[in-house]
Amino acid sequence: MKASRIQSLVQSEIDDRTAEAGALMNAFVARTGLSDRSAVSRRYLWTDAFAVCNLLELGRRSGNDTESEIGIALINQTHAVLGRHRPADSRKGWISGLDEQRGQLHPTAGGLRIGKSLNERGPGEPLDPREEWDRDGQYFHYLTKWMHALHQASRATGNPVYLHWAMEMGRTILPKFTYRAGPDGPWRMYWKMSIDLSRPLVASMGHHDPLDGLVAYGEVQQLAAELQGEGPDADLSEEIAILESMCRDTSWDTDDPLGIGSLLCDCYRVAQISMTDGPFPPALLPAMLASALRGLRAFVATDPMSDPVDRRLGFRELGLAIGLHALERLEILLTAQRHRIPDAATTVRQVEQLRPFLPLRAILERFWRCSDMQGSRNWLAHRDINEVMLATCLLPDGFLELNRERSETR
């Protein structure tokens, strides 16, 4: 086949994926109350973080500011909804406790609510593990996803205010979520905090939360250093040191597809940041890749594709597909920039071991792009998060790429 024909087919596939991602995001924007000011907005922090990245990428690809402007509008609406107390709550205003004017200027100063359907558990109310999944509060790993979305917005627009909000939230949340096990004991982290960050709702520590935090804080710190005079006058090195101590001698092994995918995305982000002397120890990336390899082997061994569709969660499997996009990009980065990656020889060997799992990405995407699968009960029950994560699979650069040229627009 002639090279021109191959290029034409590749471009056609890229265009089809972009169009499909655009249709999914347009439906999400309309359905969740972002495009209609008279509608009740339905904001959920995890989903909105991915959606911001998708909309900014659609704007970049089209050269049309409309999608990028919608992404910025989503940031503002998420802050206005999840940065404030719930409508049915007796407490009113910004969860940070700031007055209306200062809250507008510092919308992330108190963190952000998850956006769950039920109010948080009261101080004396017993824990019901099943019901807790539907109760509001703050999750550290959702907050770090939002820090990443703000980082991407600052890079895409060249406006340092988004970076400032990311750093302000980072400084706020870590002291609330972390504690020391004894006077000189190791740092630990609560999995879920109350809306006002005054008390833990779930005391156990999330498996990947310290790592997610380390990567998010590291990329934000890197961009602040790049911006120099333009960026916020702030330093997250103390917070990064705490998170790095929590990640030492740690295994991130998991057979959960979303967890594996998140780990692979973090691997690619660590590699990108490490090229510019990021704040990570050289042993971090090899340890992460080793856990990802063990996790993929364990996941495949469970024969997950044999489960009926109503026992499968699209967004979790699509999270793995996004991670496999990150793995492919990591391999390309190592080929082009091997001399800039610490312990590159080890990393290259590990990526070679992971390469046989790359075809799994196309299998997962093909399954969940099928209209029959999107009509299943489980897909429709989690439609917003499923469709946004599918759009990220189709257009992963907005979420995965950290070092894009900044626009000069403000």
Q: Is residue 52 domain-resident?
A: yes
- Residue 118 located in a structural domain: yes
Give Cα separations from 370 to 28, 42, 309 (angstroms). 18, 26, 12
**3: pLDDT strictly greater than 60:** no
Q: Do 393 and 256 lie in a common domain?
A: yes
Helix, coil or strand: residue 56: helix
Question: In 106-159, which ranges are continuous DSSP H helix?
Answer: 129-132, 140-157
Mean pLDDT of 392-404: 93
267 and 394 together in one domain: yes
Report in angstroms the alpha-carbon separations of 178 from 147, 185, 234, 314, 371. Answer: 18, 12, 20, 32, 44
Are residues 245 and 257 both part of a single domain? no
pLDDT, tens digit (0-9, with 9 covering 90-100), for 150-178: 999 999 999 999 999 999 999 999 999 99
**Predicted pLDDT of residue 279:** 82
Among 76-85, 181-190, 269-278, name the most confident range: 76-85
Highest mean pLDDT among 73-77, 271-275, 404-408: 73-77
pLDDT band at 65 (very low <50, low <70, confident <90, very high): confident
Domain count, the chain: 3
Q: Is residue 75 in some structural domain?
A: yes
Q: Are residues 187 and 261 in the same domain?
A: no
pLDDT tens, 253-280? 999 999 999 999 999 999 999 887 778 8
Average pLDDT over residues 339-362: 89
Residue 407 in this model has a pLDDT that exceeds 50? no
Task: Read off the pLDDT of each residue in 39-48 and give the average, rounded to a whole number.
Answer: 91
Domain encompassing residue 212: 109-250
Are residue 390 and residue 255 in the same domain, yes or no?
A: yes
Instruction: Note whether residue 92 is domain-resident.
Output: no
Cross-sheet strand order for the sheet of 138-139 = 138-139, 192-193, 200-202
pLDDT band (50, 70, 90) for residue 21: very high
Handedness of CA 31, 35, 36, 40 (dihedral sign): positive
Q: Is the pLDDT of residue 409 over 50?
A: no
pTM, whole model, 2 decimals? Answer: 0.94
pLDDT, residue 2, reads: 60
Of 250, 276, 303, the residue at which a domain comes to its end is 250
Q: What is the pLDDT of residue 111?
A: 98
In the structure encoding, which two tokens stand for residue 191, read together? 């999995």
Q: Could you tell me if 145 and 173 lie in one domain? A: yes
Is 109's pLDDT higher than 80?
yes
pLDDT for the residue numbered 249: 86
> Are residues 120 and 217 located together in one domain of the fold?
yes
pLDDT of residue 293: 98
Whether residue 231 has pLDDT greater than 80: no
Considering the domain boundaries, does residue 94 fall inside one?
A: no
Last residue within a domain, chosen from 207, 234, 250: 250
**What dihedral do alpha carbons 365, 366, 372, 377 form, nearest 10°?**
-30
Per-range mean pLDDT, top range of 13-17, 264-268, 335-339: 264-268
pLDDT of residue 13: 67
Could you give phi then psi for residue 89, rounded to 5 degrees? -75, 145
410 pLDDT higher than 70? no
Query: 307 and 235, same structural domain?
Result: no
**Strand boundaries in 64-113, DSSP class E:** none
Q: Is residue 212 part of a domain?
A: yes
Whether residue 103 lies inside any domain: the answer is no
Better-predicted residue by pLDDT, 406 or 408: 406
For residues 53 and 132, state if they share a domain. no
The mean pLDDT of the chain is 91
At residue 110, the pLDDT reads 98
- Of the candidate ranges 209-213, 303-307, 352-356, the one whose mean pLDDT is the lowest: 303-307
20-24, 181-185, 194-198: least confident range: 181-185
Pairing of strands 187-189, 178-180: antiparallel
Cβ-based burial of 55 (10 A; exposed 0-12, middle 13-18, buried ≥19)? buried
Same domain for 321 and 269: yes
Q: Which of 196, 231, 250 is the last residue of a domain?
A: 250
Same domain, 163 and 287: no
Q: Is residue 3 part of a domain?
A: no
Residues 263 and 394 in one domain: yes
* Residue 123 pLDDT class (50, 70, 90 cuts): very high
